[in-house]
Amino acid sequence: MNPDIAAYHLQLEPEHRRLCEYLAHEFSRCLPEVEAKVWHAHPVWFIDGNPIVGYQLLKSGIRLLFWSGQSFEEPLLKNEGKFKAAEYRFTAGEDATNLPLERWLNKALDIQWDYKNIVKRKGELIRLK
């Protein structure tokens, strides 16, 4: 595991740490070829410099974010922001093993919007896959 991500986990309360460590393990299992790092203060996984999935501690709990998630057509993922991102927010004590996480991660590999070049394109997103 990326040492910066491991350090991020160590700052979390035990309940949140268990969840984030589980998510990181699943991401590594399902996305073995992607780059993982702390980006904008939270763990994010990238394909060719393009962010695809990450998580973040919020006051209300842990937010799982898929940058291209609105294109997944998954009812449990809620739209986030003005682009193509979608999120899932974990409630206290929620068991992540009940979620279709592997399916979501497979869609993250197959469905990508070009966030890496969004500034260069002045806010226009282009679908990569």
Domains and CATH numbers, the chain: 3-110 (3.90.1150.200)
**pLDDT(123) > 80:** no
pLDDT tens digit string along 51-96? 999 999 998 899 999 999 999 999 999 999 888 999 999 987 778 8
Q: What is the structure's pLDDT at 129? A: 64
Q: Token pair 């939270």 is at which residue?
A: 42
107: left (phi over 0), alpha (psi -120 to 50) or beta: alpha
This prediction has a pTM of: 0.88
Q: What is the structure's pLDDT at 114? A: 75
Mean pLDDT on 36-50: 94
Beta bridge partners of 58: 61
